[in-house]
Amino acid sequence: MLRKIFPFFLFLINIIFNQEEKLLKKIIIIIFILTIFSLIWADSLNCRQIGYYDTPGSAQDVAISGNYAYVADWEAGLRIIDISNPRSPVEVGYYDTPGAAYGVAVSGNYAYVADAGAGLRIIDISNPRSPFEVGYYDTPGSAQDVAVSGNYAYVADLATGLRIIDISNPRSPFEVGYYDTPGWAFGVAVSGNYAYVADYIMGLRIIDISNPRNPNEVGFYISGYFAYDVAVSGNYAYVADDKAGLRIIDIRNPRNPSQVGRYNTPGYAVAVAVSGNYAYVADDKAGLRIIDISNPRSPNEVGYYDTPRWALGVAVSNYAYVADATSGLRIIQFYGIGK
């Protein structure tokens, strides 16, 4: 911010001290003040950053459980951040996975890491200060994202689609089924008997997983652009669509999903989390965008925070936790009306 303001500041000061007309001086001072405020407020709306931790790698994704944030930090593996004081988060432990940590989910005492080039890694986090790997399954593709439900981990495995891994014994996970989606599986969410896959150019794919050994596609919605991530809440799937922003898909009939609303974010929507009446979108170069979805047919933006680099992942638990590539974990408070 100072780099934006400082040259203009020097320019105006030079004019002020070299002009004799008092009126001109007053006008210039007013312009200067207004410019400062416009630059400051252009970076946020109804939001403020209250804390951050600059991870050593390139933060791609984040999951929250209790007092800890678990960051998939690309070449630096899994980083565990104590967020009990969100204004002063601190790393307490890490596990350097063998591939590139792109996605993370937490269930019980384990973190499940989608590790591109090395599949699914299962990390014991019962002691956050000393995490260790207990098992892994090397998927055939490039693991990008993971969701956990019951005894299964569902891995979005890029060119090889959705892989379903039995994790009932974390020390010996094994694949029980898969569905090769037509595009590239980047994101996955699970709700009830269905897995929802963000399949890049092939949109949202809905997979029946009631029998994990024989998953099958029952419906799809092709967005026409680039589906990167998906979150499910109630009767709707929320798709982060690179070029089209947030798409809201009615999934009450999984065999015939339909779009009911869309909000075109200013950046490149690559991740989404839903909490209450709001969708939180990691919008790449445009930071965090907060969309009111109380009326799914007419979503509207109510807040944003322009993170320092590229917002690639987001989780919500009282605050929004943003995985911001090369600038780590950013903790954002949303104080909009109706929060």
Residue 273 has φ and ψ, to the nearest 5°, of -135, 150
**CA–CA separation, 112 and 134 (whole Å):** 11
pLDDT score for 17: 47
pLDDT digits 0-9 by tens, 186-230 = 999 999 999 999 999 999 999 999 999 999 999 999 977 899 999
What stretches in the chain show pLDDT beneath 50? 1-13, 15-17, 20, 26-41, 338-339
pLDDT for 24: 52
Which pLDDT value is given to residue 34? 41
**What does the pLDDT look like over 21-34, one tens digit per residue?**
555 554 444 444 44
pTM above 0.85, yes or no: yes
